Amino acid sequence: MSELRKDPIVGRWVIIAPERMARPLNLSEPELDPHAPDPFLEGREEITTPEIYAARNPGSRPNGPGWKVRVISNKFPALGVDGDLENRGEGMYDMMHGIGAHEVIVECPHGEANLSQLPLENVREVLHAYQARLNDLKRDTRLVHALVFKNKGARAGASLSHAHSQLIVTPIVPITIQEELDGAAEYFRFRGRCIFSDMIEQERTTRKRVVLETSQFIVFCPFASRFPFETWIVPKTHRSHFEKVPRGEIEELGEVLKRTLRKLERGLNDPPYNYIIHSAPFNTPDLPHYRWHIEIFPRMSGVAGFEWGSGFYINAVPPEEAAEFLRETRDD
């Protein structure tokens, strides 16, 4: 029987409907052109925008070979860094100039498609690059929030197969993050506790939705999962801002992220996916009610008319079954 489940943070309802697994689906993956030129390959630095940050081998020069991770401006940015916001109105409508930043994190110098296939130290360098760019960009007082995200596969929005992720920094807080902040703050006011701490405690107690656990992180399929095999990585130590996570914790996160992605890729036949780092806005102090975390969405189903029209999501795979399957999937 189907169930309605309520997300405890934002109050969003989802429908868990396992019966829908029996319906015919076309999950064929749109193909990225394997013969398309790869501008991210080592040795082709001159055809990209100049690098903003790079983890490099000793003695190598900027904008040349010898790098391990490289950050560049997106050639087709959603937002640009030049100019003033000029917040203004047109009648009842508000607008401002598209000020922000849009960068690409090239995760390796060669043509690997999967972050999880890279050496662990390379994965850690990617996470360090995220932090370095956020700590730099937050100095611009026009910018208040950064979203780090990865699109893997054409169905997930990628236009190149070479392993890469992106960040977009905006002068306003995105509504999805604001809803989380508001929901977490309301829970804290009512109970005096962080909702993420309570979620971790419940998931560790029941174990039904836990995928893996380490000394500093827990990985689970959330109770009100919107999508089949939706998976969250949540730190056990309370921090609201990802850019403030200490180096030792980032080192462990690299291993946890690699293992989690490996489970999803092995268990689900290398699906397209998105992951997003949710973090508090730059212009807020450390928040007692909010915790940074990573949300991963394998793209195994589409969003159709009911979802768009109602705000509900329909998920055909109960998170308890998804977590059990992923727990038993090898990640080595």
- Give me the active site residues, please: 164
Rounded distance between C-alpha atoms, residue 23 and residue 159, angstroms: 30
Both tokens of residue 43?
């040795």
Are the C-beta atoms of residues 203 and 218 closer than 8 Å to each other?
yes
Overall size of the chain counted in residues: 332
Name the strands in the sheet holding 273-278, side by side, starting at the edge strand that comes first in the sequence: 51-56, 67-73, 101-106, 164-170, 145-152, 273-278, 293-298, 231-235, 217-220, 210-213
Query: What CA–CA distance (Å, rounded) separates 267 from 263?
Result: 6
CA distance 168 to 76: 12
Burial of residue 91, with CB atoms counted within 10 A of its CB: 0-12 exposed, 13-18 middle, 19 or more buried:
exposed
